[in-house]
Structure 1
Amino acid sequence: MSPTSNPGAVAVSKAALTGEAAPTVTLAEHLQQVFVHVKVGNLIAGLSGGVVSTLVLHPLDLVKIRFAVSDGLELRPKYSGIFHCMRSVWMQEGLRGLYQGVTPNVWGAGASWGLYFFFYNAIKGYTKEGRQTELSATEHLVSAAEAGILTLTITNPIWVTKTRLVLQYDAGSSGKQYKGMVDALVKIYRHEGLPGLYKGYIPGLFGTSHGALQFMAYEELKRDYNKYRKAPSDAKLSALEYITMAALSKLFAVATTYPYQVVRARLQDQHNKYNGVIDVVRRTWRNEGTFGFYKGIVANLIRVTPACCITFVVYENVSRLLITQPH
């Protein structure tokens, strides 16, 4: 999930999207206009969806990351497939092993989904302010990208700790480098400074395209489907309909952007050292070819598709309960 190093990107100007001339507006005025559309219900609904889906599907996330970094180092366990990986972890460490790194994952997913929906709906509301027409696909894309950039800037340290905890292979606690999320955060900051907590941030920025494409597809699918059944564009759908829209949009986004997740995981890994994104890409290509950039994609699809469906169904229903007015 995703952010820009330029805080001025909080809100896209309507002039940039519509081509209309607009008076100069300060950053403070932009922020004030955007936060008029902020609804805490979106934050709570998104957080609820992220936490529920993460708790249910964390073991598959662990498998995906372990496959994504499988670059041949001797210290890494060797797995023949998804179920072999899960069975091996279960046999060595039990349920606790399958849920290694779940704490930062719950914090990260909850915060990411909550903040993402929070920022996305605020930016979308600001962009649509005073207009009778629906937002275009490009406007949905830009709103989602901006929301993703802000979210990643806040949550990247949590994702680094999750990756480090998931990649602790020693079954004995004495051999593990980190005791938990807080210990990992403290040790990473102490030994690697702020840059250590923001490893993988650059490929994460590319990853904003994943969320942007997913949200654009989701919004367009919902709107076109409601148009097809001659209902208002924001009409409530059934759980099955939300699941279908979410699954299709997620599959589309994963298929187009997965390699950045491999690059990001490898940068955040404590067992190998890279000199940046270009170094990861070069070495992965040289040693593993195209296939290297898609390691773990099957586990990822098995995990993220139901996770996305759970998140969006929980979000849509919780937000309906908490927010009485359309947004």
Structure 2
Amino acid sequence: MTLCITNPIWVTKTRLVLQYDAGVDPSKRQYAGMSDALIKIYKTEGIRGLYKGFVPGLFGTSHGALQFMAYEDLKQRYNKYRNRVSDTKLNTAEYIMMAAVSKIFAVTATYPYQVVRARLQDQHNRYSGVLDVIRRTWRKEGIHGFYKGIVPNVIRVTPACCITFVVYENVSGFLLGFRKENN
């Protein structure tokens, strides 16, 4: 549902980012801003233009599922390795490690969809669909073409993920402790 609502925003963002032909002269830009881009994309490409990259975007929903699955599995395996009960609370450094590893796993597993999606949304290249993007990327760039930009992406998203999981675990632990005290 979120993808249905936000895909036009992603297309617009991608188009605005890819206005590299204009250089520093604003008068040569294809789009003046977000509203202008949304309107022009709709007028020139219709509703389909606003939903370019939607199919690969559906694969993005698996990112969170993979990350949470890996996170929980890593915590359980780690506790088993340390000969502890599987739901033993970890310390902050251990939570950070589990969060970072699970995020890197999820990013690596799902990153190619982001490349395919961005290329479908690029107004400078024309593709006939998802399979065309995959074929052309594979033929011209090989497997590396599907992982362009992954290192800066991992560096960007991992710290936020670690903070989120540490906060989640601490707040969750606090609330569960608070609940037990009041029962």
TM-score, scaled to structure 1: 0.46
1:156 is aligned to 2:156: no
Q: Distance in 2 between matches of 1:269 and 1:289?
A: 20
Identity level (%):
71
1:233 equivalent in alignment to 2:84 = no
Contact 2:79 2:85 in 1 (8 A): yes
Find out whether 1:211 has 2:75 as its counterpart.
no
CA distance 1:311–1:156, shift in 2 (3 Å): farther
Corresponding residue SS for 1:274: coil
Distance of aligned partners of 1:317 and 1:269 in 2 relative to their CA distance in 1, 3 Å threshold: farther
CA drift of 1:312 comes to 3.2
The normalised TM-score by structure 2 is 0.77
User: What is the rounded CA distance, in whole Å, between the counterparts of 2:40 and 2:174 in structure 1?
Assistant: 41
Deviation at 1:263, TM superposition (A): 0.7
Q: What is the distance in 2 between the residues matched to 1:263 and 1:318?
A: 37
Question: Relative contact order (alpha carbons < 8 A, sep ≥ 6): 1 or 2 greater?
Answer: 1
Deviations 1:300-319 (A, max 9, x none): 22222223223434555567
Asked if the contact 2:75–2:86 (Cα under 8 Å) also holds between the matched residues in 1, the reply is no
Correspondent of 2:119 among 258, 262, 266: 266
The unaligned stretches of length 5 or more in structure 2 are none
The runs of at least 4 consecutive aligned structure 1 residues that moved more than 6 Å come to: 318-324
User: Structure 2 residue aligned with 1:276, among 129, 142, 153?
Assistant: 129
Q: Residues 13-42 of structure 1, C-alpha deviation per residue, up to 9 Å, x if partnerless?
A: xxxxxxxxxxxxxxxxxxxxxxxxxxxxxx
| Length, aligned pairs only | 176
| Other structure's SS at 1:256 match | helix
RMSD: 3.0
Which residue number in structure 2 is paired with residue 17 of structure 1? none
Q: How has the CA–CA distance of structure 1 residues 209 and 174 changed in structure 2, closer, same or farther, with 3 Å as cutoff?
A: same
Secondary structure of the corresponding residue to residue 49 of structure 2: helix
User: Which of the residues 160, 174, 178 maps onto 2:27?
Assistant: 174
Match of 2:109 among 227, 240, 256: 256
- Alpha-carbon distance in structure 1 between the residues aligned to 2:108 and 2:53: 20
Whole-angstrom distance in 1 between the partners of 2:84 and 2:97: 19
Gaps in structure 1 of 5+ consecutive residues? 1-149
Q: Secondary structure at the match of 1:278?
A: helix
Q: Which amino acid letter does the alignment assign opposite residue 52 of structure 2?
A: K
Give the helix-richer structure, 1 or 2: 2
Residue 173 to residue 209, structure 1, CA distance change in 2 (3 Å): same
1:173-212 equivalence runs, <5 A? 173-212=26-65
Give the letter for the 1:278 counterpart.
L
The 8 Å contact of residues 63 and 106 in structure 2, kept in 1 or not, is answered as yes
Structure-2 change in CA distance of 1:272 and 1:310 (3 Å): farther
